[in-house]
């Protein structure tokens, strides 16, 4: 089974070498990396040119994109329907053996639509393990917990991604929106896995205003799919208060 990772990149040279290296050491025999980057002005293009020129399993698309969602859609159109798609940020490092573990799950459970894994990330210089709160996806669970699995930990059949696509109008909550729409479209068979798929190298530089914008967009997405619910409103208010307290 082919696993195609889609990497949108824009001026992500800081960790790009490490992200590409994490893909290169994967032992899965049928893997592919599609990098979508037509606009970077840092050293990204030099790094990508050197790396892709050495590897037939790496494709670099310079098609201009309108953001992460659009880049994912561009990459997905370059993948066969029988493949599995994953997302890889330019600051995400695949753990050794991750793709083989994911492939094994799809082979063992051929009825599933997607798999989501666990990950590590850096928070203020400390390594934190991201725990998945519940074993199954459902509309109720997404309303209650929001985005429990970031795109870097989510592997979905390419045929589903190509049909539903990411919403290019969303900047932060495209993953949550996609999960809601997957379930609504009759694809609720999403398997939770204890496999740790990625390490996110992001240095916590996201600003408070960006966090607030992300929270607002996720709240709007939840309301659009679930309607108003007292617990959803309270959860958003609590999250907003925490952001304000952090300043």
Degrees to nearest 5, angle at CA 210 with 204 and 215? 105
**Residue 104: both structure tokens together:** 């094994």
Among the listed residues 184, 185, 165, the one whose alpha carbon sits nearest the alpha carbon of residue 175: 165
Q: What is the mean pLDDT of residues 182-202?
A: 90
Q: Is the pLDDT of residue 6 over 90?
A: yes
pLDDT value at position 228?
A: 79
Percent of the chain with pLDDT over 70: 84
**Residue 56: both structure tokens together:** 């037939």
Tens digit of each residue's pLDDT (9 = 90 or more) over 83-139: 999 999 999 999 999 999 999 999 999 999 999 998 777 666 666 666 555 567 888
Tens digit of each residue's pLDDT (9 = 90 or more) over 38-91: 999 999 999 999 999 999 999 999 999 999 999 999 999 999 999 999 999 999
CB contact set of 242 (below 8 Å; sequence gap of 6+):
none
Q: What is the mean pLDDT of residues 24-36?
A: 98
State the residue for tokens 């049909």: 163
What is the H or E stretch that residue 117 is in?
strand 114-123
């Amino acid at each position: 089974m082919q696993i195609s990772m889609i990497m949108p990149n824009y001026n992500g040279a800081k960790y790009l070498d490490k992200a590409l290296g994490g893909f290169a050491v994967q032992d899965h025999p049928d893997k592919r990396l599609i990098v979508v980057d037509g606009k970077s002005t840092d050293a990204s293009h030099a790094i990508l040119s050197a790396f892709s020129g050495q590897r037939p399993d790496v494709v670099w698309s310079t098609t201009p994109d309108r953001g992460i969602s659009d880049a994912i859609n561009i990459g997905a159109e370059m993948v066969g329907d029988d493949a599995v798609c994953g997302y890889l940020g330019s600051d995400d490092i695949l753990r050794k053996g991750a793709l083989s573990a994911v492939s094994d799950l799809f082979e063992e459970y051929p009825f599933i639509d997607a798999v989501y894994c666990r990950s590590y990330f850096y928070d203020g210089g400390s390594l934190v393990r991201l725990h998945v709160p519940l074993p199954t996806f459902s509309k109720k669970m997404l309303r209650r917990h929001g985005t429990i699995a970031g795109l870097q930990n989510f592997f979905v059949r390419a045929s589903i991604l190509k049909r539903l696509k990411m919403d290019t109008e969303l900047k932060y909550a495209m993953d949550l929106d996609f999960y809601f729409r997957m379930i609504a479209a009759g694809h609720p068979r999403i398997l939770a896995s204890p496999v740790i798929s990625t390490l996110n190298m992001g240095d916590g530089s996201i600003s408070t205003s960006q966090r607030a914008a992300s929270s607002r967009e996720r709240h709007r997405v939840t309301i659009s799919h679930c309607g108003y619910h007292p617990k959803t409103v309270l959860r958003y208010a609590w999250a907003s208060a925490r952001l304000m307290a952090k300043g």
